Structures are given as C-alpha cells and as structure tokens.
Amino acid sequence: MSDQLVSQQVRAKAQEWLSGTYDEQTREEVRQLLEAEDPGKLTDAFYKNLEFGTGGLRGIMGAGTNRINKYTVGAATQGLANYLKENFSSLDLIKVAIGHDCRNNSRYFAETCAQIFSANGIKAFLFDDLRPTPELSFAIRELGCQSGIIITASHNPREYNGYKAYWDDGSQIVAPHDVNIVNEVSKVKPSDIKFEGDTSLIEIMGAEMDEKFLAKVKTVSILPEVIEKHKDIKIVYSPIHGTGVKIVPAALRKVGFTHIYHVPEQDVVSGDFPTVVSPNPEEEAAMKMAMERAVEVHADVVMATDPDADRLGVATQNDKGEYVILNGNQTALIFIYYIITQMKKANRLKGNEYVVKTIVSTELIAEIARKNHIGYYDVYTGFKYIAEVIRDQEGKKKYIGGGEESFGFMPADFVRDKDAVSSCVLMAEITAWAKDQGKTLYELLQDIYIQYGYSKEKMKYVVRPGKSGAEEIQKIMEDLRNKPPKALGQSKLERVKDFSTLVEKNLPTGEEIKINQKETSNVLQFFTCDGTKISVRPSGTEPKIKFYFEVKGNLPVRSLFDETEQAADDKIEGMMKELGL
C-alpha cells in the first residue's frame, strides 16, 4: 500500500473525528493534527486502531484511533459490556470492578467506564481512589464479578495510559475472549457508546476492600517467627509516585515489620512522575533515589514498585557494600527457591505442587523445580498465561509461585496477576530469613547459584515507534526466522523454537517436534550446544522488539562470583554484537 494511499485513509479517518459525535476539545486537537506541516503525528494517531495485546489496551494519550482517549476507552468498554451481556445473559445482574493508577486522566477514564457499564445495566464497583492492579484482581474474585478493568499503563513513560481487562477469575482476558472482545469493540461506532450512566448501579469501594486484601496478603508469609525475630530489619520502599504509596507500607507493618523508610519525594502521587524519566523499577535511574536513601539508613533491602504496583524492583548490598539491583530473573529465582525450601523443610509438600515461569525467563527456575520434584509449566510472556494454568489446574494441583523476568511475581493465587504488594511482604521476609542465616540477599543468591548452577541473563530492546517502526520490527523477525545464525557465542546452534508455528527443530538431526502451547505467538528461541538461550519477541504493549540472553556457567564458591559474572557479561556482549545490537 503506497504512502499516499495511507495518507488519504488517515486523513479520511481523522475527518470523521471532526463530526458532532466528538466533543469540542477532541475536534480541536484533530484540527491541529490535520493542519500541522509534519504529517507524522497525524499518521501515528490514526493509521490503526488500538488492539488488546499481552497487557490489554495501551498507548499515548490524545485524539485518534491509535491513542488513549475518551472514545477509544469508551469503545473498549462498550464492546466489553456487549460481550458480557451476551456471555452472562442468564444472570440477573452482571458485575464489574474498576480501578485506576496515578496517571494523568486515569480517574476520568475510570469514572467514564463506570458510567458506560452502568448505562448498559451492569453493576460497577469503582474504587474511591487509585489502587494497585493486584487489589483490582482480588476485588473481582472477592465480589464475584464477571469482569473488571484497571486504567493503567504500568511502567510506561508519562505520556502513556492504558486499559487492562479482566475475566471472572481475576485474570487478564485470554483466548477466546480476548479476540471475541476485540471483534465486539471493532463493531462499536462512537454513536453506540452509552456515556450517560445510571448512578444507582455504581458503588464506590474503599477501606473495607483494602482490609480484606491486606488480610490475604498477610497469608503469603511462610515463617512469621523469623519476621518477629528480625522485625527491625531496615526496609527502604518507594512507590515511584504510584499506587503502592499506602498499601505496601501498610502490608509490611501488618506482618510485623517496624523499620520502613520512605523516599518522601517519590511518595508524591503524580502522573507526571517528577523525579524519574520512566517509572520503571527495572531501570537503575528509577531506583536511584531509593538506593541513596538506603545508603543513609544502612538498609537491609530496597524495594520499589511501578505506578500500578504489580512490578517489584529489589536492591541489596553486594560484597563491597554497594547497593545493586537484582534483575527480574534473580528475584523470581529467590522467591521460588525460598518457597520450595521452606515448604520442603516443613514437610508441607504433598506431591501435587507446581510453579510457572514464562518461556523467556531463566531456566534455573525449572532446574530448581525438577531437582525438588516440583511440577513446572512454561508459558508465554504475560501473567494472564500463568493465571490460565492455575485455572486449568484448579482443584487438581496446587500453585505455589510463578514469575517472569520483567520484575513480576505472584506468590499466591488469591490474585491472578503480577502482585508486587504480596511480593514486597515475601521479599522482606526472605531478607529477614537470610539475616537469620548470617547472609545478605546477595549472598543468598550466590548460594543458589552454587547449589543449582550459575546463570546470567540480560535483555536488550530496540525501540521502533510508529507505523514504519512496526514494519521494521516485522522484518527483523522475518529475517531471523528465515536465516537464523549458525552459531552464537562461539557455540553452534542446536535447536530453534518457532512459536509462530509451534515447531521445535533439532538442527543436527533435522527432527521436528510440536511445542506444547495452546496457541501460536510471534516468538523465536535459539539454543546453542553450550546451553545458551536467546529469545526474540516483539513487545505486545510497546513499540519494541526484545532480545533475551541467558548463558550458563559454574560457580563453585562465592569468591569466584565476580569473575564468573564478567565472563558471562563478555559472552553476552559478544552475542549482541554478532546480532548487530
């Protein structure tokens, strides 16, 4: 399709937004886009419609079909309402729960959604103020709702907002509902959206739901006696301007911790995120102020959550006394190790337990599970897939933990999404337990490597925004799929997994086997003869293509950790150069 034709189609779509169906503020913004000399912003705003990805609906705020605004959010809500009425037609009253984070316009969008649901005869439970994503997931289950939504763009930069949709188990929506809802949304015209609500069907939730949630969060504690013994460990916590500001410190105090140090500047709730460029605890810049606070108070552990408090960043002191951030694989590894170790020690393992990890996460999680005779599942990126396993195994097997490399973990199944609130409580307990053993978290991680094998993981992403960027990302995937490298890191390629066809190919033998997943996904994985794993996938929520590297090694003693780390870093850097990253 030519650029000229795209431009004609884009302009035609934009012209539709100048009609009386749209409010004056929206029309004025579209007029400015149409009159601008550079057509790039107009194209990006209208060249496609936002669709549900691995994390729901997410985009830059503003006017346009490819933007987050009253009408795209409204169409998603109207489409979801239509689908709920079709699927739950036998119920006298359909119920949904609605939450939102700290972002600009989040409260407005949440209230708009409540109006639309109520206008469609659906009961809407709306939180009275910002709340963490895991509490929204919990509320859906607690209230017996058929669905729920939260307005959030997670850890994205300040110009973004988003819309996560949930099903009746408190999980983000998966197939076939996700595709069906997209189809319903695509049918919705702006004139179909019922913006005028029925206030009698909107109920505000507040402190009572918080107390119920916190009572459940307390149950993730495995060794309360260790907390009692070391309740005075020093914990620095930052919500990075987001929803964790009240609920996480309250959760830590509820289980018994007494020395919780705040980062006052980042306790300020703001969608402008004034102290950071990106409110992402995966990035050192976002954790910087919390780590500086840790130096002041000599903290045992530093924890920070992203704006909707589903992702957790953890920092601890290394053997030189410097505070360093653990990557998401390392935190997940520590969680899984601790849960299994303590359950085994207390003779609480019945033989039906299992853990879940995503396919791009460290293989050491699977190794720990195997060596302890615990079942494990590999799923696609996104906690909705972890929740899907829990749903499939409900009543048959017992979920004891699951996580992914991107700083998400879920310690218990009363929430069916990433849960940084419960994870903060459990990580603080693990810190106390390590201290009881005379160790820091850093030394505990090293001991896990000594016992189960060393692994180093790094992720590199390439950002390509807009329409041209999406095309470039598609070409990168096609080139890797059609012409995979013969070797990486001086080790021959042994296996290739293509999740778009669900075929795993053994290169030396030519044997092909089917990959055990319910659906296809645009992910490639390369495995070399020395155990290296490289995963490549376009992001489902951001204009990025991500490359995940994992190399194996051996750590016989703690004193060789730095040397082993350096060798792994060098190997990964070499592979990145080979791939042109």
pLDDT digits over 224-236, tens only?
A: 999 999 999 999 9
Positions marked active-site = 154
Q: Does 417 reside within a domain?
A: yes
Instruction: Write out pLDDT tens, residues 86-117.
Output: 999 999 999 999 999 999 999 999 999 999 99
- Note whether 309 and 266 are same-domain residues: yes
Question: pLDDT above 90 covers what percent of the chain?
Answer: 90
Domain membership of residue 3 (yes or no) is no
Boundary of a domain, candidates 146, 170, 205? 205
Are residue 482 and residue 534 in the same domain, yes or no? yes
Strands 123-127 and 95-100: parallel
Q: How many CB atoms lie within 10 A of CB 214?
A: 18
Q: Are 194 and 281 in a shared domain?
A: no
Show the tokens assigned to 43: 């194209």
Q: Domain boundary residue among 410, 433, 452?
A: 452
Task: Report pLDDT digits (tens) over 255-308.
Answer: 999 999 999 999 999 999 999 999 999 999 999 999 999 999 999 999 999 999
Residues 305 and 435 occupy one common structural domain: yes
Residue 494 lies inside a defined structural domain of this protein: yes
Task: Say if residue 310 is in the same domain as residue 379.
Answer: yes
Where is average pLDDT lowest: 381-385, 499-503, 530-534?
381-385
On whether residue 468 sits in a domain, the answer given is yes
Place of tokens 């060794």: 223
| Per-residue pLDDT band at 48 (split at 50, 70, 90) | confident
**54 has pLDDT over 70:** no
Examine the domain organization and report whether 405 and 478 are in the same domain: no
Domain limit, last residue, from 435, 452, 469: 452
Q: Indicate if 306 and 435 belong to the same structural domain.
A: yes
- Asked if 447 and 467 sit in the same domain, the reply is no
DSSP result, 245-301: HHHHHHHHHHHT--EEEE-GGGSS--TT-TT-SS--TTSHHHHHHHHHHHHHHT-SE
Q: Could you give the CA distance from residue 294 to residue 283 in angstroms, rounded to a whole number? A: 17
Q: Is the pLDDT of residue 322 over 80?
A: yes
Give this prediction's pTM: 0.94
- Write the DSSP assignment of 164-179 as a string of letters: EEEETTSSBP-TTHHH
| Residues of the chain above pLDDT 70, percent | 98
Angstrom distance (rounded) from CA 447 to CA 206: 43
pLDDT of residue 541 exceeding 70, the answer is no
**Mean pLDDT across the chain, nearest whole number?**
95
List Cβ neighbours of 210 (8 Å cut-off, separation of 6 or more).
131, 135, 247, 250
Q: Which pLDDT band holds residue 1 (cuts at 50, 70, 90)?
A: very low
Per-residue model confidence (pLDDT) at position 5: 58
Backbone angles phi, psi at 358, to 5 degrees: -90, 160
Q: Provide the pLDDT confidence category of residue 181 given band limits of 50, 70 and 90.
A: confident
Question: pLDDT digit string (tens) for 65-84?
Answer: 999 999 999 999 999 999 99
pLDDT in tens, 8-46: 889 999 999 999 999 999 999 999 999 988 888 999 999
Q: Does 319 score more than 90 pLDDT?
A: yes
E strand intervals along 12-94: 57-60
In three-state secondary structure terms, 386 is helix
266 lies in a domain?
Answer: yes
The answer to the question of residue 29 being in a domain is: no
Q: Do the domain assignments include residue 220?
A: no
* Spatial contact of 291 and 302, defined as CB atoms under 8 Å apart: yes
Residues 232 and 276 in one domain: yes
The domain containing residue 493 runs over which residues?
456-578
Residues 257 and 403 in one domain: yes
Give the span between the Cα atoms of 357 and 366, in whole angstroms: 8
Number of domains composing the chain: 3
Q: What is the mean pLDDT of residues 377-390?
A: 95
Same domain, 482 and 373: no
The H or E element that residue 142 is part of is helix 133-143
**Consecutive H or E run containing 193:** none
**Domain holding 377: CATH number?**
3.40.120.10
Same domain, 328 and 445: yes
- Sequence-separated contacts (24+) of 367-373 with Cβ below 8 Å: 367/452, 367/453, 368/333, 368/336, 368/337, 368/340, 368/448, 368/452, 369/336, 369/340, 371/452, 372/340, 372/344
Flag whether 341 is in a domain: yes
Asked whether the beta carbons of 255 and 269 are under 8 A apart, the reply is no
pLDDT reported for residue 422? 98
pLDDT at 52: 65
* CA–CA gap between residue 30 and residue 46 (Å, rounded): 10
Query: Would the pLDDT of 396 be above 80?
Result: yes
How many angstroms separate the CA atoms of 420 and 312, rounded?
A: 5
Measured CA to CA, the distance from residue 163 to residue 470 in angstroms comes to 21
